[in-house]
Every structure is written in C-alpha cells, then in structure tokens.
Structure 1
Amino acid sequence: MERANTNLLETVDARTKLAGSNRMEILLFSLGTSEIFGINVFKVREVCRTPFITKAPNMPSGVEGLISLRGNVIPVLSLAKVLGLAKPGQGLGGSMMVTEYSKRTLGFLVEGVDRIIRVEWDKVRQPENMAGSTQNNITAITELADGKLVSILDVETILAQTFGEAPVGQISALGNSIEANVFFVDDSAIARKKIVEVLDKLGARHKHALNGLEAWTRLDGMAAHAQQQKRRLADEISLILVDAEMPEMDGYVLTRNIKNDARFDGIPVVMHSSLSSEANRSMGKAVGVDAYVAKFDAEILADTLRPYLLKVFKD
C-alpha cells in the first residue's frame, strides 16, 4: 500500500515523458474477486486507506457517501457495487483511490491496491466477447507477464451510469450552407454517443474510429486515396477530434503522426479527454494539437469546434 502511494507521487514531469511514447502506466487493484482491474495512473491523485465516510440521503446506487478532502467535499463510490461484483455483507474495502475525471474529483473504494505497471499501448486491446456484469464497463484489456489479464475500466461509462448523462443543451447549428466533415476517435461508447449528439446539433457530418490505430489506418488510407486523386484531404475532412487514452495507439502518437504528415496540412486536430490537468494540456500542445478540451461539456465542445469548422469553410 505504501509502495503504491509513493509511486503515485512521481513528479508530473516524469509521467509527462510517457506522452507520445505510446506507453501508459496502470495502477492495478482488486475488488474482492479473482479479476485484476486497472486504471490509468494519470487519473489518480493519491491512494489512501478507506476513510470515515459520511452517509448522505438520496445518493445514487453504489455511492457510499461523502468525505471532506483538503476542504473539498467529494463523493465516494464503491466500485464493487457499481460493477455488480459486491457479495452480500462485503465491506467497503481497505483502500480508496482519489481520482480526477473531467475536473471532477471522486473517491473509488477498492479491496486493495497492488502495484503500478508500465505497458505499451499496442499491447492494450479492446475487449472481445467478455462475459459478466463488468462487460460494458471495461474499455480495454492487457496481459501481465504471467499471462493474467487486466481489465481497464471505462470510468466515463461508470460515471454516466452512476450519476446520469449530462444533457446536451441548446447548440446552434453551423448553418445550412456549411458542409463540415469531422473524423473523431474515442474508445468509450458513452463518449462516442455524446460526441455524435454534439456534431448532429452542429449539423456536421461525421465518421469515427474506436481506437487510435484504427483511426490512423483509416486516415492514412483516406490520405493515400486523396493523393492518388490529386485532391486535398482537407477538402474532405474539416477537423479531426481525438481522445488521449486509447488502446493500440494513444491520441498523442496519433496526433504526432497527423501533424508530421504533409497530406494532413490544413486539418486542425482537437484533443478531447477526461485527463483535464494543465500537464495533459501541455502534453497535447507538445505533439501539436490545435486545441484541448476536457470531457464532457457539450457546449464547451461545440464552442471549441465551431470556429475551426467555420474557418475551414471560409478558407
């Protein structure tokens, strides 16, 4: 436990070096079953023993209550309950991970924290044919040296199921005369759904991919075809919207590939991520993103995309 907490307190600069290297660090933990779960270290602020939790009325299922953390009141979730893995009479677990997602701080209760591992994103793949109650809440899986599988949580989906999806409010359309085409990539099903809602309200056409490698393969093919036809790819794609964390190839490597390829000249790249710290924004800027927007506020996303889409149209 102490070892895990010490590793989590590595300097931001040390972890920032992972950006663009197609590697990630995963904190391994258990929920009282034989399964091994993981979460990106970038999203974990600290690990501590389970504190006293104040019960509160009308909490969503799986939310145990509230705690005060350095002057801030934050909700605490039991991941075992949220994932449907809690056994009758099972306690809250011995550890709490304090996480930050989309500018929201949360406590996640787990049975125990193991260690931090570093993996290549190309060794992280999307789950296929997974059974059990956790299936919809797993965004990717990877394999340890001993052959055991690690299930990486789709926290965006977990939060949407627990607290409800943020409604997409009034978003002004770009205009009937504007033909905008957006290519976006995100490995989270709930994130893809919300992005589509925003793009539909803007009136932008869209295509998407499920991970960074699939996105790059498709974009590379589109660029090759446009080059063969002696056309500018920028006339076919108005903007590329990328997630940061994705199986097989992360958004930083994907962005760097795009920005280093002249065939994509004139196409802005916007990074859309639940990693909302200034360090992550700096990492995005380092690989060349034109804008960085934290998940998920529909109006902010629309306001970020709109000027790029209108500028492409005017040009």
Structure 2
Amino acid sequence: MSGVLSTVDARTKLVGQNRLELLLFNLGGTQQFAINVFKVQEVMRLPHLTEIPDRHPVVRGVTHLRGQTVPVVDLRQAIRMGPLKAPDDEATIIVTEYNMTVQAFLVGGVDRIVNMNWSEILPPPGGAGRQHYLTAITRIDDRIVEIIDVEKVLAEIAPYNMKLSDDVYDQELLQRIKGKDILIVDDSSVALQQMHSVLEPMGLNIVQANNGLEAHQLLMHWKEMGRNISEDLVMIITDAEMPEMDGYMLTTEIRRDPDLKDTFIILHTSLSGNFNKAMVEKVGCNGFLSKFAPEAMAKETQRLMREKLGMPPLG
C-alpha cells in the first residue's frame, strides 16, 4: 500500500497551485474520511502491538517501525465514534508525521489518493455531528468526505503546555508593537488557541481568519479602505493546509500584489521541517514555525518583528 504515496518532489509541484492530495479511508463503516497526503509516511497492515501501562484510552499500543517506537491511535475512538471493531487481519494503520513526531492511526481500510483543488474543500457546516473533529468536508463521487482535525486529536491525547514565562518576551519590542494588528490564519481551533496564548501577552490586536480565502478577502477590504497594510500589519501567521485557499496560495497572492508584497509572513504548520524550508523559499515566506512549539513561536515572531522595525537583533 505504501507505493500509493507520492514522493516529496511530486508533492512540491502542488504548492502555489492551491492543490492538495487526500488519502481516503474508512473507520469500519461506509462513511469516508480523509487526511492530507503531505502528513502520511506510509500505509500498512496493522502490525503486532505492545500494550503500555497508563496509556491514553484511544492508544491501542505501540509498534516498532524502522528503529522508532510509534504509538498507534484508534482514530474512530479518538473522534468519539466508539472503538474500531474491524478484524485485525483487515485493519490498517496510516503512519504520519506531525510536528516532527511520528504516530500511526488505526483505520478500517484505505481506499485511494485523490488530487483536488483547495477551492473544492469547504468548512464543515454548522450542526455537523462530528464537526468538533473536522477541519473540512468535500464531495467525491457524489459522496461527502470528512477531513479530520488530526491536530485536535493529538492535542487531546497529549495536551500542550501553552504558558510561557515572562522572560521569553522582549519588553523593548513590546513597547513598539503594543496595539498593532497581527493577522492569524488557521482552520484548526487548537492552533488558533495556541497562537492567541502566545501573542496576547505581546499586547497585539489579534485579527483572526479561518482560511486563506477569508484572509485574502480581508486584506482586499483593508486595501479598499486605504490602509497601508505592509506598514499597519505587524505580520501574518498562516497555516499551510486550509479549506478554499491554502497558506502557500495565500502567500503567493500576497507576493503578487504590489501593495501587499512587503508584508511579513510566517508559515505555521505541522508539516515536516525540511519540506517547509523548501516551500518557504518557493513561495516567499519570511520564515516558518512548527505548530505546538509556543516558546519557539514567541522567539521567532519577535525576531522578525525586530527585523521589520529595523531594531538590532538581540544578542
């Protein structure tokens, strides 16, 4: 099954074209689910699992893959649909990398990979039964496919400590940026909460958009109002993967616009570091940060803010 996965080189060709590849799978029923192929390392039959003491209820156990101990999460149970009941000889795991950690998700079976445009990926409708664990939905072969918020699943299994000590913050800089606008763009409630927790102590006015299209429309509105966005806006911090318009395309559109092209942009993503270094260079971001690393986020955003304001770097 691993042969179905694209290489990194092939994936990078989608960047800046507002396209993505989805891996379709089921959780032991007829409903189809999906995650972005960018996050997937391989797909394989469920291997032997070793149970570990005091494990989270949705972690079935651990397995050893290529010298790594990898936790295996029952994805059906993690999104509160009850444990997966597929026979072991039919169950499959999807091995993924998020925030430079490797984990596997137990699923009922994998279908195929589909190549799509982000404009075909929509936010989940209000009142959707599993909206709490969805970042988006789409329609494939006249069927609704639900795209799971894996970041939320992982945050519930291993909660992140978002509280930072005061000495992380640059008081000289904070005096300069107090009350200024910063735009944060993400479709994940967990990621938005993290950004708020890091940025609010800086005294910034946080403006929030839930996807790249919403952010781009807001920037166009500010332009019509006559705002000097590259001056007024401290920076934009954007996710890579979002419904309707991804962070790469958002950055590309900003760089094409003479009134916006000097805006500082940080790509804030759970994709692997090496991949994002290439993508930052390709689309023209000022930097990137791994998600759920609040201290690193605070330091890098402040470093770039000092650079933008012409302040000398901290020793």
Q: How far apart are the structure 2 equivalents of 1:11 and 1:76? A: 24
| Residue 42 of structure 1: aligned partner | 38
Shift of 1:312: 3.1
1:135-188 CA-to-partner distances (Å, cap 9, x unmatched) read 2110000001x2101100111111111222333322315433433421110000
| Residue 280 of structure 1: aligned partner | 276
- What SS does the aligned partner of 1:150 have? strand
Shift of 1:267: 1.8
Q: Is 2:49 the partner of 1:53?
A: yes
Q: How far apart are the structure 1 equivalents of 2:127 and 2:239? A: 23
Identity across matched positions, percent: 37
Shift of 1:297: 0.2
* Equivalence map 1:152-301=2 (5 Å): 152-170=147-165, 171-173=168-170, 174-179=173-178, 180-226=180-226, 232-301=228-297
**Structure 2 CA distance for partners of 1:272 and 1:87, relative to 1, 3 Å:** closer
1:216-244 CA-to-partner distances (Å, cap 9, x unmatched) read 00011112322xxxx52223101011110
1:60-110 CA-to-partner distances (Å, cap 9, x unmatched) read 120011111111111110001111223586556610010000101001000
> Any conservation in 2 of the 1:178–1:313 contact (CA below 8 Å)?
no
Q: How far apart are the structure 2 equivalents of 1:28 and 1:219? A: 34
Q: Which moved more, 1:199-208 or 1:113-122?
A: 199-208
* Equivalence map 1:54-93=2 (5 Å): 54-86=50-82, 91=87
Q: How far apart are the structure 1 equivalents of 2:65 and 2:135? A: 29
Letter in 2 for 1:29: F
Q: How far apart are the structure 1 equivalents of 2:238 and 2:195? A: 11
1:24-79 CA-to-partner distances (Å, cap 9, x unmatched) read 00000000122110010010000010000100011112001111111111111000
Q: Is 2:130 the partner of 1:127?
A: no
| Residue 20 of structure 1: aligned partner | 16
**Structure 2 CA distance for partners of 1:236 and 1:95, relative to 1, 3 Å:** same
TM-score (norm 1): 0.92
Q: How far apart are the structure 1 equivalents of 2:11 and 2:297? A: 27
* Equivalence map 1:94-105=2 (5 Å): 94-105=91-102
> Any conservation in 2 of the 1:202–1:302 contact (CA below 8 Å)?
no
Letter in 1 for 2:33: F
> Any conservation in 1 of the 2:124–2:134 contact (CA below 8 Å)?
yes
Which residue, out of 101, 107, 112, partners 2:109? 112
Greater than 4 Å deviation, 4+ residue runs: 87-93
Q: How far apart are the structure 2 equivalents of 1:156 and 1:87? A: 20
> Any conservation in 1 of the 2:186–2:239 contact (CA below 8 Å)?
yes
Letter in 2 for 1:149: I
Q: Which moved more, 1:37-46 or 1:65-74?
A: 65-74
Q: Which moved more, 1:31-40 or 1:280-289?
A: 280-289
> Any conservation in 1 of the 2:77–2:84 contact (CA below 8 Å)?
no
> Any conservation in 2 of the 1:293–1:301 contact (CA below 8 Å)?
yes
Q: How far apart are the structure 1 equivalents of 2:70 and 2:84? A: 26
Q: How far apart are the structure 2 equivalents of 1:313 and 1:255? A: 21
Letter in 1 for 2:290: A
CA RMSD of aligned residues (A): 1.7
> Any conservation in 1 of the 2:92–2:107 contact (CA below 8 Å)?
yes
Number of equivalences = 305
- What SS does the aligned partner of 1:264 have? coil
> Any conservation in 2 of the 1:186–1:243 contact (CA below 8 Å)?
yes
Q: For structure 2, which runs of at least 5 residues remain unmatched after alignment?
A: none
Q: How far apart are the structure 1 equivalents of 2:63 and 2:242? A: 31
